Each structure stands twice: as structure tokens, then as C-alpha cells.
Structure 1
Amino acid sequence: MTASLASVVRRLGRPVTYTRWLHLLMATVAGGLTGFLYGGTFRTGGWETWLRLAMLPVPLVLAAALVPVVRRVEGLQAQLLLTPGPHGPEQRAASGIATTPSARWCDRARTAGWLLLRLETGVAVTALTVQLPALAVAFGMAAAGRPSHLSGLPAIGAPHWWYGLLVPLPLVLLLAVVLGAGSLMARAARLLLGPSAAERLAVLEARTERMLAHNRLAQELHDSIGHALTMTVVQAGAARAAGAPEFTDRALAAIEETGRQALGDLERALRLLREDAPRPADRPLLTEAERLLESARAAGSTVSAELSGPLADLPGPVSREGYRMVQEALTNVLRHAGPVPVSVRIAADGGVLELDVRNPLPAAPAGPGSGGRGLRGIRERATLLGGEARTGPADGTWRVSVRLPLPA
């Protein structure tokens, strides 16, 4: 009992209790404005007036629910006045109350239900807000020995001191009604103004798209930065082992070029993370694969390449992802086998793009499942493009083979 009383006292000290009360009182404005249009609404007084205020605006409320922006206005008002705590963008998004205009008839129907509930509950709470304090005043007057004849309340013609004991009861009842009605409206707002199934699906799809975009960025950074670091390490080690000034100069120049390309890729990825940034330049295409081959040659590998077909006419996504696959395949060669001979074949013919990278097996070849994120990324990219990728030993070599379908 003590805990329940303490909980009620705490709720009475929360600002949201009184913003919810204000929200309910504001609902009577529609009834008041409509009442002025009909003669005699306020003439009789008493409970008949309150009943008219609750019924007269119903057609107007139903018509307003058909206007799409009304749902947005009601949602914003409910977020600000019915939900506790700060009202930043994150808190409003987590309130469970939508602030988008009605897009479907089911949204309009739910908005109509909300407006009717708010009107009737608001008029009832407003009536009690007016009448219950007046009843407490009437009890106080009767306790002081004065008869009371307040409008809308039964007359007290036999005053007595014991009426003083009843003075707190109407006020306690009013506070209980305010607390209960406020909680009811907060729950109803989440039910009637909450996101529809289609809106929740759209939010889920947007969240999934963001996650996929982040995964793509992670893969991009892994491929480009991993390639640059691998090339840098291999070239630096080869230059130190060679001990020749001319080879060292070539290695340093290759390291500089590789680092510059990696910085460009990093800047592209970071710009994608900035929402207000302009659209970044396109990523490298397969027509620029020659720079990957030159980078591998500068690292000490002997690269034999065969490029055929209209690579410049490839669709953008296929060309960009193909470039990354070749890049990762060459990085994988240098990382696990070192500067060994590599054969690269890139061919677009017969509605299929074929990528084939082969190198001699290292002393301790990696198994198909131990290629790390790089080889897994190649297979994922190929699957997303409707193709297939195979990685592993083949005829005494380590082979990365990719087949991607091309649109007619």
C-alpha cells in the first residue's frame, strides 16, 4: 500500500502527467468551436452542455481524419505531450508514434478512431476538471455553514461541519482520473497513431539497406587497403632483399603510387559515410585492371595477362565488382605465395564475364575455407551478381575462377 502511494506521488510530480492533462483539455476546443455554431449549446448548462460538446464535433472530426496531414499533426502533438523524457529525434523515433501523413485508408480509419477517442475522453476529463473542484468548493461552503447552489451540481441546503471531510474527495478523484486517462491516451496513441505494417516494413527495409551499405563499405576498405598494405610490405621486403638502388627506387615509386590509390579509395569510402556529402566518383572499373597488374609486377611477380572482349561496355556494377575481385585475387597471391608467377585472364564473351587468376601453389597452400575474408568476399560478390566463384587448388596451381552473367 505504501509503495503504491509512493508511486502515485511520484507520478504526480512528473511533468508528463500535466502535459497529458493539457493534451486532454485541448481536445475540448473542437467541441467549444462547434458549440458556438449551434444556438443554445451553452444556454442550458449542466451535463447537457457537456454532452453536446462531445457529440456535435463528431462529423467534423471524421472529415478531418480524411486529410492526410492530420495524422502527422496528431502524431507530433502526441509525441510532445504524451511521452515522457526528452524529445530529441532518437526519443521521438522510439516513442512508437508515427509522424507521417496518412498514406492508406487504414491509416485514415485509425486516425479517425484516435480523434474520436481523444474528443470523447477530452470532453469527459474537461467536464470533471471543471465540476469536481466546484464540488469541493460546494463541500467547503457547506462545512462553513453556507448553502451552495453551484451550476450543474446538486444544491446543498442543509450545511454541516462534516461536509469538510468530503472536500478532498473530489480532488483525489480528479487526480486519479487524470492519471488514468493520461496513461490510456498514451497507450492508445501507440496503437492508433503507431506505424502501420507497411511503414514498419519500409523502416526495416531502410535499416537493412544501411546495414548492407555498411557491409559493402567494409568489404571495399578490406579490398583496397588490404591490397595496398600487402603490396607495400612485399615491395619493401623485395627492395631490402635486392639491395640494388635501381630496384629500391622502383619499389619506392610503386609504394607511393599504391598508397596514393589507397588514400583515394579511403576518401571515397569516408565520403559515403557522410550523409551531406556529394556523390563520390565512381569506383575503379575493369578497364583500369592494368594498374593492378603493374602493381603486382612492381612487387616482384611475373604477370602474364589476357584481356579480351568489350570490357568498356560492361555494366557498371559488374565492372566495378570485377575489378575488386581481381584486386583481391592478386592480393591473396602476394599475401600467401609471395612474388610468384601469376596468370590473369579477363574475358567478356558470349554473355559471360570470366575472371581467372592462377599462381603456383605455395609450400603450405591454404585450404578453400582458410582464405579469410578476401576469398569469402569474392564468392559473396559473385553470388550477388548472379554468378559463381570457385577458389582452391586446381592442376597444381591455386586458382580463383569467377563467371558472371552479362545482360543481353
Structure 2
Amino acid sequence: MGFSDWAKERLMAALPKCYVVANSDLCSSSSGLRYRRSPSFSDAAKVTRLKPVPWDSLVCGTLEADGTFLKLEDGYYLPVFTQSGIRVLHEIEREEPAKTREMRKAKKEQEDESLGLVFSGPGAFYEVMSERVAFRSGPSFGAKALGQLRKGEEVELFGWDESGLWRECVDHRLARSGFVLLDHPEFGPLLRPKGEPLCIRPLNVLAVAAQEGRYEDLERFLAAKEQEIDFQDPRGPAVVLALAKGQLRCCLRLLRAGAREGSSPELAVLRRCGPEELEELQQKSEEELKLWIQGALKQTGHSPSLGPDAERLGEGREAESVRGAAPGAAPGELYEVVYDSVWIRREPDAKAARVSKRIKGQRLQILEFDETGFWGRTVFKTSEGMDEGWMLLAHGEFGELLRPVHDDGQGFVVRPQ
């Protein structure tokens, strides 16, 4: 690049650029973006005497050196990202010279070719649970949004990024590939395994990798654990979930890593093996390991419970997920109020009539969830008898309102942390 080209680039960078104030990723209920006196998120920097900049409007200015704030021509500032890392200002690209445009196109084609439409390893189909989910070119909020996924759509997921928060995704409907975030820090679950009851808590990557038969990812996650390994998923123990899907090599790897849950015949047979024998078994293929276990079970007189979606999930269905119970069924899951006070409403809607209230520390049974997974139905006593209503489990601004109370398996109830 010659000096003249460099000078042109520097000049272009110093010129004001136009941006659109976007709410597509944030999905905020506010009217727009608040002006700030300085490039800071502190309350003192907010400009309250001016109305917020409306969503979808255009603004012009120059970026600060770190790229996190835009200085407007009137001296005020707007954040490019929220404090949680969601982009709210998107640059409107200027018309580029033909040469630059060709170079950019060639670079994009190389990136697309390296990304490909098929990722390695077995995939798993997931369903979009949120109204809209951004489909990005990379595993970060700053990566370019390639489009959006709508609630109810199905995509196939493959590996994880280093953080374990993003997954490689293929949208077969539009023949495109990219990355999606599994859980939003404010809005909760974005995608969940297709056909499974909705689990509002983040899934354990160890359990998911084992359940989907992604052995290399499981090895990577186990190798990254420097402290005690957590084998528990909100839906049940990782080894039990993997066994229910017939993922024997992953089950064996979890046992070798120290998993102690589950009491099925298959797990009992494997636990009787010594460390050297377990390591030898780990070298077998999935089919070879299955035949070995079946032979060992015949010698003990037990019937195998292997196979996809096996009904026996060990220890009284340990893998039962957070899900709604049918009306009139046995009591659901015990929850405790962790916010100052939470209303019980007639319907699962923030605008529905208030019928009662529960305060911090009180406990109640959540019998079922609405289709969003954010509202739980409960039954409570009144002066006139029994009544029922719905409680919000988590709030976008105030965080968790109710939290599950767990049983430690020895008859003791563990309070929420």
C-alpha cells in the first residue's frame, strides 16, 4: 500500500460515519437509546433532559479510539454496545471504490469457504425458543449478523466455541452456516434440543456433548477442567443422559473422569472394571463396546437397557427435566422466592390481574410452565379455599425471581445459593 492510499484510509477513518440505532439484537422494550455526556455507562453520564434516540433512526459521528462509544456532532455520546456486549449501533457502509470492493468480496469468499456448510462430528437438531435469535458469522456479539432465526424454526448444531456459550450452526432451510448463542444473559434460553421439554436453566456442556456423542468435544471440556468436575445437568446426571441416548463411549469416558451417578445395569458392569480395563474398553468402537456390555450383562443375568431414548434413565428417572406437569398431577418442583416480592397473576402475562403475592424466602410448588418457560403455574390457599395462578421466574431487569430448591439425595433440602 502506497502512502497516498494510507493517507486516504486515515482520512476516511477520521470522517464522521452514519449509524442506525438497532434494537434487533437487544429486543429492549424501551423507546430508544439514551444520550450520554461522556463515553461512560455511569448514571452521572446519562442525559435525562433529552428524549432517547428512537430505535431505527440514523445518527452520525466519530468512533472513540476503543470503538465502544460514538461521539455525535453535537458533542453527546452513544454506546456502540450495551454493558452486556450487545451491539446497538450498526454502521451504514459507504460506497466503496471498485478495487476495494473486489478485495473485500474475495476475502469474504475465502472466509465463507473456510466456514463451509458442514461442520465435523455428529450434529443435533435444536428448536428456537426465543422470538428472534441472531445468526452470526462468529462466536461473539460483535460478529456480523448474517440473519435471524424465528421462534419454532429448527437448526442443526455442531461444536462449541472456547467459551462453551456459542455453537456452530447450520440452517438447512436457507443453506447457511454460522454461530448461535444458546442462552442470553438477559432473556434466558434461545435454543434447546428439539423434542425435549423446555429447560430454562443453561445446559451443562459436558452432559450435552456426551448425550450427542461428540466425544472429541467431551475430551476437550474434561481436559479444560482444573477444579472438581460438575457432572450434573438441569435435566439429570450427564452419564444417565448419555446412556439414554446409547452413547456408550461417552458414558465410559465420564465414568473414568469420576462420574458416580446412575445405577443402571450397564453402568454397574462398567464400574466393576479396573482402570486398565476401562482404558482398554475406551479404545473400542461404539458397536464393539455395546456388544461387550451385552455379553457382560448376560453373564450377570441382567437385561440391557441400551438404545436411543431408553426409558430407563436410572435411579427413578434422574434425567427428568424441568418441565410442566399435567393439571391434577403430583406436586411439581419446589421453588423458593429469591426476590423481595413476586406477584401471582391470573394468567402468564405481566399485564394479567394480580391475585396474590409471595415474599423472599417463601417456598411453593411449580406445577407446570407456560409455552415460553418463563412463567410457572402454582396453587395457593386463600380465605375461600384453594386458588391457582402464574408466577414469573426471571425478570429481564431484576434477574431471578424464583429458584429451584434441590434435594441432595440424602433426605436434605438444599437452599438456593
Same fold (TM over 0.5): no
TM-score with structure 2 length normalisation?
Answer: 0.23
Larger Rg: 1
Ranked by relative contact order (alpha carbons within 8 Å, sequence separation 6 or more), the top structure is 1
TM-score with structure 1 length normalisation?
Answer: 0.23
Which has a greater percent of strand? Answer: 2
